[in-house]
Chains A and B, each alone.
Chain A
Amino acid sequence: MNESAFNFGERGHLAGVWCEPSPKVLKRAAPPVLVWNVGIQHHVGPYRIWVDLARALAAKGFRSLRFDLGNMGDSDVGRGTPGDDVRDAMTGLEKKVGAREFTLVGFCSSVDQLHEVGLKDARVTGMAYVEGYAYKTRRYWQRWPLRFLSTVRWQNKLYYRLKNAKLFETKRAAMDAAELEGGAGLMLERQYPPPEQFTNDLATLTARGVRLLMMYAGLDSTYQHPDQLFDLVRGSDFGDRLELIYMGGADHIFYRSEDRAVAVANLCRWVEQPHLNVAAR
């Protein structure tokens, strides 16, 4: 495996780390995997999850790029939108390694760019939504009363009421300050598609042949029931192109390293799956 700094974008203002497997195991025909900022966190991801993913993928022969959107992490100020930056990453890799297809992985707020770009750009053939859009469907409300039995929840509520009542205000005020130069603030502005639109979008994507992975955590997440998504998409037929993974014991950012390891293993298996089938045939 070899990791190298990679600059791309119109003015080379975007920065990332290109992770290339050793030639012995390299699957040259497989689409490179792209990951980027999660909230304001730079391209290593929360608790270094994108580094773990890149190295695990490389061990299995898959290439990846972890990068920063414009004016975040190690990237300079750009002119385009965050979605433009993701498209620039694909274009940069087309030039660098001749890739024509790409797998994108979004996590929490970065599913906004994932969804926007994946819908419009035919180069995207695989999309993983990690703790992405979760809608409060029937099964969510069925489980909702259980939260009142959780002592941890009450402890947390009390703790934050006493301790952090003003913290969020302070953070928002700081984020709005001109000195932040704009870019990072964009990540706080979410673009949650309405549920009907999201269902239609998934149908559009799978009809185009895009493989989808929805991976949810259960602890402090809006996703509370393993089948919550199916309430939303009932009646839709995605064939075998949509896979759902529910990690009920994990939290929203995979704080524990064992949960991160499972999340990374799930992503690797999903990336590898179509190539295993090819090998078997």
Chain B
Amino acid sequence: MRTFYFGRSRRLYGALHEARGRARTTGVLLCYPGVQEYNQTHWAFRRLAAQLSRDGMHCLRFDWSCTGDSEGEVHDGDVERWVEDVSAAAEELRESTGVRRVSVVGMRLGALLATRAVAAGLAVHDLVLWDPVIDGQTYVDELEDLDALQCRRRQHRVEHPRVELDGYPFPSGLRAQLGMQSLERVTPRGAAHVALLLSAASAAAVELHEVWQRRGVDVRSRVVVSPPDPTAWQDDAARQYTEMLRALAAELVPATQAAVAA
């Protein structure tokens, strides 16, 4: 694993897991969830990256601008900038490893941002969406529920209006931006294949699948029963995602095997 900073307009922090053995021609870009869910899933992302590198794929995970080790402060977070970060990271993966094409795995908000980047022109082979945020307002509502739970757990009062959410500043501009996001309104035409991997079946995911299929997107959906308890989102229980990680790796490996054979 090699860590470094990259990016022209903003310095982003990345961790590259180089392929073991003969490298495949497709590299994988991992997009973390939003900052509120980032710490809890870091370990799961490392495990996934390690697995993919063992499978012969170069794999880059990176911190969104204004989060993690990347440049900027959380209160300056911006959805449009994050969408640009996806393309910057994909370019970095190509340049630093020489892979011919890139597949992307995005989780929760990371899935939405990756899809928006692909819809805006980023060409990828597989776009794998792990429990994607389908509707921005629903996502904000979920974060508020989690925040109320955490406040209770930590013996704090829930403040109104909420100037922070789940431990991080949450300015009104970012709230408004997130609230307007909708996966149904974008079409990831830049992806050869799209996979929706879900921890639980949802009507919104079924609808999204149908909408994209009608628009000619090659999309498949699968429910992977993991994690067993939805409260795992708030706990540092990212380690429970074993089944999901296996499913994610399985989505990516056959395609790249084909690429190597070709």
Contact surface of A with B, Cβ cutoff 8 Å: 3-5, 7, 15, 17, 39-44, 46-48, 51, 73-76, 150, 152-153, 155-156, 159, 163-164, 166-167, 170-171, 174-175, 177, 179-180, 184, 219-220, 251-253, 255-257
Identify A17's interface contact among B42, B69, B154, B169, CB under 8 A: B69
Are B67 and A219 in contact (CB-based, < 8 A)?
A: no
Identify B69's interface contact among A44, A150, A220, CB under 8 A: A44
Known interface pairs A5-B5, A41-B39, A155-B152; A256-B69 also in contact (CB < 8 Å): no
Other A-B pairs beyond A15-B3, A171-B235, 8, CB < 8 Å? A15-B15, A47-B168, A51-B68, A156-B152, A167-B231, A167-B235, A175-B239, A219-B156
- B132-167 toward A: CB 8 Å interface, digit per residue (1/0)? 000000000000000000111111100000001001
Identify A257's interface contact among B2, B47, B164, B236, CB under 8 A: B164
Are B69 and A47 in contact (CB-based, < 8 A)?
A: no
Known interface pairs A47-B39, A48-B67, A257-B167; A251-B155 also in contact (CB < 8 Å): yes
Are B155 and A152 in contact (CB-based, < 8 A)?
A: yes
Identify A152's interface contact among B42, B43, B152, B164, CB under 8 A: B152
Are A40 and B242 in contact (CB-based, < 8 A)?
A: no
Are A5 and B1 in contact (CB-based, < 8 A)?
A: no
A164: which B residues are within 8 A, CB to CB? 229, 231
Known interface pairs A46-B39, A48-B74, A171-B235; A5-B13 also in contact (CB < 8 Å): yes
Q: Which residues B1-50 have CB closer than 8 A to chain A?
A: 1-5, 11, 13, 15, 35, 39, 42-43, 46-47
Instruction: List the 9 closest pairs (A to B, CB-CB), nearest first.
Output: A251-B154, A5-B3, A47-B167, A219-B155, A174-B239, A255-B154, A152-B155, A15-B3, A5-B4
Interface: B240 (CB within 8 A): yes
Interface: B211 (CB within 8 A): no
**Complex: how many Å from CA A152 to CA B155?**
6
Are B229 and A74 in contact (CB-based, < 8 A)?
A: no
**Complex: how many Å from CA A215 to CA B43?**
28
Are B152 and A256 in contact (CB-based, < 8 A)?
A: no
Contact surface of B with A, Cβ cutoff 8 Å: 1-5, 11, 13, 15, 35, 39, 42-43, 46-47, 67-69, 71, 74, 150-156, 164, 167-169, 228-229, 231-232, 235-237, 239-240, 242
Known interface pairs A5-B3, A171-B240, A255-B154; A42-B39 also in contact (CB < 8 Å): yes
Chain A binding surface, main DSSP class:
mixed
Known interface pairs A5-B3, A219-B155, A220-B155; A255-B46 also in contact (CB < 8 Å): no
Are A167 and B237 in contact (CB-based, < 8 A)?
A: yes
Identify B150's interface contact among A150, A179, A255, CB under 8 A: A255
User: Which partner residue on chain A sits nearest B61 by CB separation?
Assistant: A74
Are B239 and A171 in contact (CB-based, < 8 A)?
A: yes
Known interface pairs A76-B1, A170-B240; A256-B15 also in contact (CB < 8 Å): no
Shortest Cβ distance from residue A63 to the other chain B in the assembled complex, whole angstroms = 16
Are A41 and B154 in contact (CB-based, < 8 A)?
A: no
Are B42 and A42 in contact (CB-based, < 8 A)?
A: yes
User: Which partner residue on chain A sits nearest B47 by CB separation?
Assistant: A179
Known interface pairs A5-B5, A15-B1, A164-B231; A256-B164 also in contact (CB < 8 Å): yes
Identify A159's interface contact among B152, B235, B236, CB under 8 A: B152
**Complex: how many Å from CA A256 to CA B152?**
12
Shortest Cβ distance from residue B146 to the other chain A in the assembled complex, whole angstroms = 12
A184: which B residues are within 8 A, CB to CB? 43, 239
**Complex: how many Å from CA A155 to CA B68?**
33
A17: which B residues are within 8 A, CB to CB? 3, 13, 69
A180: which B residues are within 8 A, CB to CB? 239
